[in-house]
Structure formats: structure tokens, C-alpha cells
């Protein structure tokens, strides 16, 4: 019986670690995924911080801003604001009269006091098409 316990404990620990291990999507893959479903650039979008659903930092120059449950935008940030952040930064986004405008409004990161970077481009993301493609890909048998 002792032999089984000696073997079982390390095996359970290994299984637990394997279950916790996840493969993180690379920044380049993440950007490619969002870009594939992003429309042409727009000059501005409606935005109210109270209604904002959240954001996803894609890489050092891109953020996906979830404005409403089915409405998201890929923002290209011109500047190094996101280059130093890893993890979950706190972002601030300027807006004028309930709109964010490319080339005018800015992103700030709370941990980098005094630094703000201009939003260079705004592209709508077709979340419905993206989710449908992900669902179809997940349903497809592997190896095909």
C-alpha cells in the first residue's frame, strides 16, 4: 500500500500542474486574429466610459476596446504606452463629447504617470464573424 501512495502523490501533483498549464497565445497570433476580422479604419466612435465593457491588450501597439457586448474596436496606439506593461494594466482613454477620435484622443496607462499616447487608428471588429470562425475551427476535427 505504501508503494501506491508514494507513486500516487507525485502523479496527482503532476496531473494538477498539467491541468493548470495553458498555452498563451502569442502577441503576433492575437493581432492576426483580430486584424482578420477588423473592418476599415473609422475616424471616430461613440464611447462612454460608464458603458465600456473592458479591453484586451493585444501587443505593444494595439488594444481591443469592448464598447458594448457585441461591439469592439481595434485601436492602434502611436507611442510606447503599452510597451512596458505586462499583466493587466489600468488604461485611461480620453474622449470628447462621448466620442473617441483617431489622431486626437489618447490612451494613458496608470502606472506610467504623465505619459499618454495618441490613438492612431480605430477599426471595428466583427465579433459575430470572429466567434463563428472560432466555433467552426473548434468543431473541425484536428489534422484537417
Delimit the domains of the chain by residue range.
41-128
Q: Which residues pair with 45 in a beta bridge?
A: 100
pTM of the model: 0.77
pLDDT at residue 91, rounded to an integer: 86
d(CA 81, CA 7): 50
Average pLDDT over residues 82-98: 78
Give the rounded percent of residues in the chain with a pLDDT score beyond 90.
44
The residue with cell 502577441 is 27
The residue with cell 476599415 is 40
Cell of 60: 505593444
Asked if residues 51 and 68 have their Cβ atoms less than 8 Å apart, the reply is: yes
Lowest mean pLDDT among 18-22, 36-40, 70-74, 118-122: 18-22
Taking only the tens place, the pLDDT of each residue in 36-46 is 999 999 999 99
pLDDT at residue 140, rounded to an integer: 82
Return the axis-axis angle of helices 27-36 and 127-139, rounded to nearest 10°: 120
Taking only the tens place, the pLDDT of each residue in 54-65 is 899 999 899 999
Asked if residues 90 and 113 have their Cβ atoms less than 8 Å apart, the reply is: no
pLDDT at residue 39, rounded to an integer: 98
The residue with cell 473592418 is 39
Amino acid at each position: 500500500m505504501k508503494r501506491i501512495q508514494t507513486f500516487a502523490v507525485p502523479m496527482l501533483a503532476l496531473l494538477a500542474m498539467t491541468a493548470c498549464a495553458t498555452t498563451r497565445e502569442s502577441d503576433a497570433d492575437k493581432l492576426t486574429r483580430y486584424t482578420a476580422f477588423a473592418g476599415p479604419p473609422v475616424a471616430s466612435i461613440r464611447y462612454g466610459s460608464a458603458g465600456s465593457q473592458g479591453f484586451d491588450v493585444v501587443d505593444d501597439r494595439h488594444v481591443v476596446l469592448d464598447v458594448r457586448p457585441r461591439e469592439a474596436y481595434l485601436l492602434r496606439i502611436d507611442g510606447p504606452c503599452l510597451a512596458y506593461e505586462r499583466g493587466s494594466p489600468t488604461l485611461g482613454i480620453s474622449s470628447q463629447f462621448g466620442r473617441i477620435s483617431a489622431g486626437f484622443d489618447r490612451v494613458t496607462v496608470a502606472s506610467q504617470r504623465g505619459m499618454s499616447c495618441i490613438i492612431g487608428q480605430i477599426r471595428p471588429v466583427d465579433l459575430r464573424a470572429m466567434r463563428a470562425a472560432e466555433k467552426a475551427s473548434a468543431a473541425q476535427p484536428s489534422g484537417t
